Chains A and B, each alone.
Chain A
């Protein structure tokens, strides 16, 4: 039997199980906290900082912090929402995200969050960095231009011995996600499809098929991201 605990999010009391993270507790109770790097079933690693909340006047990431009885969480406040919008803008200017030509448009979580947080023009200057595209795998195009370094592919796409297909390379501002040369050539089409699905943006594209679902009929084309959670 799991222990039930109570926490408050923006003053609203919710009940959850001991051991759940704050984001899990919130989403189960119909409260939206935006996430990008978090992925159900994989260990959380607070990379994107989108799920930032405030507890006792301290910023925490709700995807990594377990809910504890009596916790009071600030989530949907002006301060925090502006940070979230800032993070989205920062991700846009530090990559090359050209939505209209992207196969992931409409299914892209970054794009959907930008709409939800009403990003018009980023406050930061565009960097237009030089990034590479790796098409050496028979099934995958790994496009560094669109990568937001969330680690989801690294954490979830592995072979039966636990070896990673994707990995970080370099650090800091030079950080990239690399597809392993050898394993990328041997990847199955099913796993390649899964990699594309698990990527929140259009950085991992499954080769050969494109625009199967037309733009306009995709996941976030009609309802904003988060509406599937909110009640």
Chain B
């Protein structure tokens, strides 16, 4: 055991910035990361054990306690719950004889909850030993557990076959569906792969490539919408002995899954976009940060990189361009939404906790290893390839004045055709709803939990960076949904779970607000509670990163657009309610001593 760990450490040259990989390898080998291993790691990397634990304990998928032989991570996203997660969970718990969060006494099965795994169009889904199971029912759940108990291998439990497209490739072999419903400028199959690398880069200067991107007016597709051309220009001007291109494939915003589909069906274009960015910026190293939930794509993606190396699309003097050396490495995350934030992602790439950095300095100046780094989203990088091929003018024809081009939407929830839709910017919400076959719509969540919850009066608004920006997550809710307890509460739980915790505001305020929300949902709220929530939420504005700054959006936007739901729940007769119930508070302790609680005040 000890030897194996020393081997793993030396595989990464004892480099503490590769701690993520070291921990992944150890966990794959030993099942978990125990005290003795942590002590050994600390010793070899000249860190304290506490420092190793700092990283281990940050990530959802590392464990310092023994896990089971088979570990089931059941997704807890809002759409999973809308599609029967509760019954599936109960079926798992009954079949395994344990509660969620536990491991069976024989150590065979572990059952855990996890934040959105990027399968919103095929829920409820679970990850079982790195294999994704989609569209679960209580019936299938029982079969799966029975199979496991009879000693079947996880792979043998799949009776559904594979999903569509490349998901069925033996190298991926996943029960995952692309559900591509609408193709446009990006997804249309009219691009001969690697044309940009082979034919265009050798004839075009790096400044000219950046100019094309600037003139195309494309803005970042990861959510923040920073102009891509400008970012590349900043990156190319910053000084450093290396420059880096990072492809952000952390895709953690609940409800988005378009990057997963791009990586499954269009990975060459994503990598080609990284090469083009590398050429434009003068970078020599590319890193793709892949969320752990998409680990089933890792071998496939590495195979494509290997092919690119063979064809000199990666490596030295790419496509015969004398001084252009560039290669790409994939870094696997370990389960932390915050690592989608670019500076947190960089910290994670350096083997640390995913705590966002203070800005300035921005990554273009001081990024990975404090060197100039351009971070772009998967979709941005894939799109860039087509822009370079077809020209800026071609791209400018698409979209509307304010927002140029197309956008991939990940649509899920109450609609007949959940999946990926490529649309031009400027599309109306009502058209989106019609397009995906949504009826009796009560609300749509635009931009995931950090976005806004819109009701009917806003359905004629258009997607655009100035009015309704979005990373692409669209979740539809019909009139039967209880928005507060099914949606808003789930989203608040998500932010509480996923905050990095360094800002006093973001660590505590969402928790305080959830308390208020629960008070209202439980019928103990009064009118001032609604006002308190709106006022208190302001404090989150001074948080360091976008997570904290938007963490109250589920509550604030639902109060703004669905105030009647709150009004209907709060007590009208009284102005104050402590929210404290003596009856329920003593229930547990009374039970423990087998006594009946006795209350005199309302006898």
| Chain A interface residues toward B at CB < 8 A | 44-50, 52, 59, 61, 64-66, 83, 86-87, 90-91, 93-94, 123-125, 127, 148-149, 151, 161-175, 178-183
Contact = CB atoms under 8 A, between A and B. Distances in A.
B48 A164 contact: yes
Contacts of A44: 358
A172 B505 contact: no
Nearest to B519: A125
Nearest to A49: B542
Contacts of A165: 48, 50
Given A149-B502, A171-B353, 12 more contacts: A45-B358, A52-B542, A61-B358, A91-B504, A123-B536, A149-B501, A162-B46, A163-B48, A164-B47, A170-B501, A171-B58, A173-B510
A61 to B, nearest CB: 7
Nearest to B361: A66
Given A45-B358, A167-B48, A167-B50, A172 B57 contact: no
A172 B48 contact: no
Residue of A48, A164, A167, A182 with highest tally of chain B CB at under 10 A: A167
Contacts of A46: 358, 503, 544
B512 A164 contact: no
Contact of B57 (A166, A171, A182): A171
A151 B336 CA distance: 21
B48 A180 contact: yes
B503 A47 contact: yes
A48 B338 CA distance: 18
Residue of B336, B500, B503, B509 with highest tally of chain A CB at under 10 A: B503
Contacts of B498: 172
A80 B355 CA distance: 25
B360 interface: yes
Contacts of B542: 49, 52, 59, 83, 87
Interface string B518-561: 00000000000000100010110111100000000000000000
A161 B54 contact: no
The dominant DSSP class at the B interface is helix
Interface in B6-58: 39, 42, 46-51, 53-54, 57-58
A168 B504 contact: no
Contacts of B538: 83
6 contacts: A83-B538, A83-B539, A163-B48, A168-B54, A168-B353, A172-B501
B501 A174 contact: yes
A169 B496 contact: no
A173 B501 contact: yes
B350 interface: no
Ordered nearest first, which 4 A-B pairs have the shortest CB separation?
A175-B501, A167-B50, A180-B50, A64-B358
Interface residues of B, number: 44
Contacts, number: 139
Nearest to A52: B542
Contacts of A65: 358, 360
Nearest to B54: A167
Contacts of B539: 83, 86-87, 90
A59 B338 CA distance: 21
Contacts of A47: 502-504
A162 B497 CA distance: 31
B49 A172 contact: no
A48 B50 CA distance: 22
Interface in B46-98: 46-51, 53-54, 57-58
Given A94-B508, A169-B57, A173-B507, A178 B501 contact: no
B228 interface: no
Residue of B507, B510, B532, B538 with highest tally of chain A CB at under 10 A: B507
Nearest to A50: B504
A165 B50 CA distance: 7
Residue of B46, B505, B515, B543 with highest tally of chain A CB at under 10 A: B505
A179 to B, nearest CB: 7
Contacts of B497: 172
A173 B511 contact: yes
A171 B499 contact: yes
B504 A87 contact: yes
Contact of A164 (B51, B355, B502, B510): B51
Contacts of B536: 86, 123-124
Contacts of A45: 355, 358, 502
A163 B336 contact: no
A90 B505 contact: yes
B548 to A, nearest CB: 9
Contacts of B500: 171-172
